[in-house]
Amino acid sequence: MIDSKLPKVLVLAYSDVRSDPRIMKQCSALTDAGYDVSFHGVKYTADVINEKFRVKLYFYRSKRRLVQYLQYFVLMAIFLGVQANNIFKKPIIIVHNMPNFLVIPCVLSRFLGSKVVLDLHDDPVLVLSKVVTNKFILAILDFIENSISLRVPNKLMTVNSLLLRSVVERTEKEVFLLHNSPESVLRDCSYKYTKGSPIKLVFIGHLGTHYGLPDLIEYLGRIKNVVPVTLDIFGDGSVRDELEKLIYKFQLQQSVKLHGRFLAKDISPILSRFDLGVALYPKTELTNIILPVKILEYTFNCLPSLTSPLNVTQDYFQKKSLIYIETYKDFKKSLEDIFSGRINLETLHRYALSDVSGISWKQERERFLEFIGKLHA
């Protein structure tokens, strides 16, 4: 029930709340606490979902990068209109990057008394540097993203300790750390894997270029006659077509399945069917500061993980808590050790869960509500 004493909350993003667990968790927590929440963003799918807060999705998010850039500016104009309709209510406004400059239209609302928060999911300049190689253009983007945009909000949020340290170097504003701990959690773990049986791998999330999925398909093509293994991939994105070609090239149609998009509420039921979660990030300047949400989702849903030894991952997990691999040789040995029973997946998962038990969503939710409460105290 909406508490009329609490301010309205506008949540703005170039994303679809139905498929973005971080945004969904925040909106749900605020709604449950009595805030009048409305989300404004874009569509990923045509599915109609009735949420407990208002959802307005304006157009489909394009898969073409150039069109996406144009959509940023269209959405900024829409955000101005959304604020105009609420201007005298002095709402709390939470803007989710990427990019940071989506927050710029909120400068008027802040001037008129609204509190504005920018939630930094990642470093946008590092993300853009993957496709923009011109140093002059990157310098301009860096100025817009890290000089202009960070001045607009009252406060900042981010997702992990390494990104927090990076953001703190660019601003004197308070930066609140809210981990991307999953809301979907399996509390009673049932470990199904027995040595000598086929290993069921799963990947869940956006099929982007920095998730190492093409390498994973190649590894599976090389190991298919060594260890029995299957892979189910849930999600959609820019590398899906490439993955389909690789699956055909390595003749993996029977063992690798692409399932398409999923809803945040379905994460736990999906993951409960598999033995091992996979996230093979290439080790780059960008990925080294992004704590893989997938690793947290796997861990809190009773799955051990096979991943890359990123700086940020090793900042949160012990060496004995995850299976770290960098090459096909590492991958092959790890799967052989699982198949033979030399690696015990249950023990591995228990270590991982112990490492991150202090940042469960139950705890992070209370900290988040306290943070928002202070904005209107």
**Structural domains in the chain?**
8-181+360-375 (3.40.50.2000), 199-358 (3.40.50.2000)
pLDDT at 258 over 90: yes
Per residue, what are the HEC states of the chain? Answer: CCCCCCCEEEEEECCCHHHCHHHHHHHHHHHHCCCEEEEEEEECCCCCCCCCCEEEEEEECCCCHHHHHHHHHHHHHHHHHHHHCCHHHCCEEEEECCCHHHHHHHHHHHHCCCEEEEEECCCHHHHHCCCCCCHHHHHHHHHHHHHHHHHCCCEEEECCHHHHHHHHCCCCCCEEECCCCCCCCCCCCCCCCCCCCCEEEEEECCCCHHHCHHHHHHHHHHHCCCCCEEEEEEECCCCHHHHHHHHHHCCCCCCEEECECCCHHHHHHHHCCCCEEEECCCCCCCHHHCCCHHHHHHHHCCCCEEECCCHHHHHHCCCCCCEECCCHHHHHHHHHHHHHCCCCHHHHHHHHHHHHHHHCHHHHHHHHHHHHHHHCC
- pLDDT band for position 188 (cuts 50, 70, 90): confident
Going by pLDDT thresholds of 50, 70 and 90, the confidence category of residue 46 is: confident
The percent of residues in the chain predicted with pLDDT above 90, rounded, is 62
| Interval 17-31: pLDDT, tens | 988 889 999 999 999
Residue 291 has pLDDT above 70, yes or no: no
Residue 154 has pLDDT above 80, yes or no: yes
Residue 131 has pLDDT above 90, yes or no: no
pTM: 0.83
pLDDT beyond 80 at 372: yes
Chain segment 268-287, per-residue pLDDT in tens? 899 999 999 999 888 877 67
